[in-house]
Amino acid sequence: MEPFDYVIVGGGAAGCVLANRLSADGKQRVLMLEAGGEPASRWIAIPAGFSKLLIDKRYNWLFQTEPEPNTHDRRISVPRGRGLGGSTLINGMIYVRGQPEDYDNWARAGAAGWRYKDVEPYFRKLENYATGGTVRGKEGPVRLEQVSERFPIADSFLAAAAEDGQPMNADYNGDDQEGFGYYQVNQRRGRRWSAYDAYLQPARHRSNLVVVTDAHVQRLRFEGTRCVGVVYRRAGQQISADAQLEVIIAAGAFQSPQLLELSGIGRRDVLGPLGIAMRLESPGVGENYIDHYATRMNWRVRNTVTLNEMSRGWRLVREVARYYAQRRGILTLGTGLVHGFVKTRPEMDRPDAQYFFMHASYANAAERILDREPGMTIGVSQLRPESVGSVHATTPDPETQPAIRPNFLDSSVDRECIVEAMKMARRIVGQPAMKHYIARETGPGDATQDDAAWLEFARRNGQTIYHPVGTCRMGSDADAVVDSRLRVSGLQGLRVVDASVIPRIVSGNIQAAVMMVAEKGADMILADRPR
């Protein structure tokens, strides 16, 4: 294969952004390598199809955490998208910028040039949110809409939040995140709008962009301290690809550190037992793993029809017909209908917890099987967890899942926040506006009253909500894996541009932040190219 200027490892959200931006002027030859395939499933375009895709090994790596005592030694599913578009093919489509203080804290921690005033233009660059205010982008490639469906029980939940003293907020991605309202989602006219739709598909006609699917990168290639290419496996063959300017790793928070480790970059105590020769000791590789942990509180409801019933029998037939005729109805729904960004203590200066309200409840959440009786769920998540884990290779085989150890609920701050947020959710549901609908609380149930019981429920029933970051952290200290221009410290010709470089998790769903990082990263790469 002839040499390329840039080789991108990974075709997920960040990879799609990079492929588009780096190839846009036609001057650089760009190769993208994706271990998965084309986004061919009919379920991808249908927003509600995420429930099918989350258990489909063609589009999900189906990773699981290691058993840990904090969560009763459960193996917790951590879905990661596979295929062009990555996790934007299978996620709940919820779009959240986060809070300005998140990015200001990145800069304070050593990520120079990543304050909110530095990154906010990139959010506007990527957004296409026609109904947003002056701080929102309206001409970008990422189509955004507010959830279009309205249900009386959801409106009553908003009324209950107001009765509890919570503010309403029509645009939590505007000047202030706090409050309740309807979520914004990556959709266009009732169809999922993935990173593939926004960035890669429009660029695939370019002669200077080559996209290779079913290509699993095995290791990086070096000449001295310079990365000069990669070796990947496709159809049983080992193939080399050369990069004249840079290799850019965009494989995500689990597989980016794994690829570095298998290429000899990482911690000596990890690489030594695997028999991998040390090329560069970088103690931060695979460390600083942070994710959002969430509980799901459930209620049995009455006097309404919920998604539990609407997704079966003649009602489902009606909804399918409505979707294909009008692009409306329950098939346009993802994982969240109504949002809440709340302070668990009134003296706090900004929200520290997030709610996801849906008038649905799961009989088996792991397999996405809904209850047969009417129900509703409030997902409860801490916005900025302090518990930190790790992700490390366990064998020299790049196709073996790394060991994922999230260390959920290790911090007392995290434990206190999740307990207080669940108690607040119960208090809101107990307001007069919801009394017409609530039959009883089924999870954790009215018997759960003291903090120890609440925490036990969180330990036994909580799940990740699939926002892994931090495992190739950017910064200026000795443990940072990349510098503030996303270059791997101590090497040349190698960058990491994806969720793994995020030093501290943002306040909410991370896909917006990941695309912003890739937009800004692409500008940095182009600015640094030889003239």
Instruction: Name 214's Cβ contacts closer than 8 Å, sequence gap at least 6.
Output: 34, 35, 36, 37, 234, 235
Two tokens, residue 404: 């994922």
Q: Which of 129, 414, 433 is nearest to 295 (CA)?
A: 414
**Residue 180 burial (CB count, 10 A):** 25
Query: Could you give the 3-state DSSP secondary structure of residue 156?
Result: helix
Burial tier of 346 (Cβ tally within 10 Å: 0-12, 13-18, 19+): exposed
Rounded CA separation 236/215 (Å): 10
- CA–CA gap between residue 410 and residue 28 (Å, rounded): 46
* Bridge-based pairing state of the strands 353-358 and 375-382: antiparallel
CA-CA distance, 157 to 153, in Å (whole number)?
6
Rounded to an integer, what distance in angstroms lies between the CA atom of residue 34 and that of residue 285?
22
User: Identity (one letter) of the amino acid at 465?
Assistant: I
Query: Residue holding tokens 């189509």?
Result: 143
CB contact at 8 A, 301 and 440: no
Confidence at residue 362, expressed as pLDDT on a 0 to 100 scale: 83
Token pair listed for 504: 């501290």
**Is residue 305 classed as helix, strand or coil in its secondary structure?**
coil
For strands 362-364 and 226-234, give the pairing.
unpaired
1-144+187-287+390-406+467-531 folds as: FAD/NAD(P)-binding domain (3.50.50)
Tell me, rounded to whole angstroms, the distance of Cα 4 from its chain centroid: 30
Residue 285 has what pLDDT? 98
* Residue 381 CB neighbour total at 10 angstroms: 24
> How confident is the model at residue 367, as a pLDDT?
64
- Report the catalytic residues: 467
Q: Where are the domains of the chain?
A: 1-144+187-287+390-406+467-531, 148-182+293-384+409-461
Instruction: Say if domain 148-182+293-384+409-461 classifies as CATH 3.30.410.40.
Output: yes
Residue 274 to residue 400: CA distance in whole angstroms:
13
CA–CA separation, 22 vs 310, rounded Å? 45
Q: Which residues pair with 266 in a beta bridge?
A: 281
pLDDT tens by residue, the chain, 531 residues: 678 999 999 999 999 999 999 999 999 999 999 999 999 999 999 999 998 999 999 999 999 999 999 999 999 999 999 999 999 999 999 999 999 999 999 999 999 999 999 999 999 999 999 999 899 999 999 999 999 999 999 999 999 999 999 999 999 999 999 999 999 999 999 999 999 999 999 999 999 999 999 999 999 999 999 999 999 999 999 999 999 999 999 999 999 999 999 999 999 999 999 999 999 999 999 999 999 999 999 999 999 999 999 988 999 889 889 989 999 999 999 999 999 999 999 999 999 999 999 999 987 666 667 898 999 999 999 999 999 999 999 999 999 999 999 999 999 999 999 999 999 999 999 999 999 999 999 999 999 999 999 999 999 999 999 999 999 999 999 999 999 999 999 999 999 999 999 999 999 999 999 999 999 999 999 999 997
* Contact in structure between 377 and 353 (CB atoms under 8 Å): no
Phi, psi for residue 410 in degrees, rounded to 5: -75, -35
- Supply the pLDDT for residue 1: 64
Q: Give the bridge partners for 127, in sequence order.
A: 142
Nearest CA to 340 out of 462, 196, 177 is that of 177
For the chain, count helices (H), then strands (E): 13, 28
Token couple for 21: 């931006």
- Per residue in 137-177, pLDDT (tens digit) is 999 999 999 999 999 999 999 999 999 999 999 999 999 99
Residue 24 DSSP one-character state: T
Name the residue among 523, 530, 531, 528 with its Cα closest to residue 22. 523
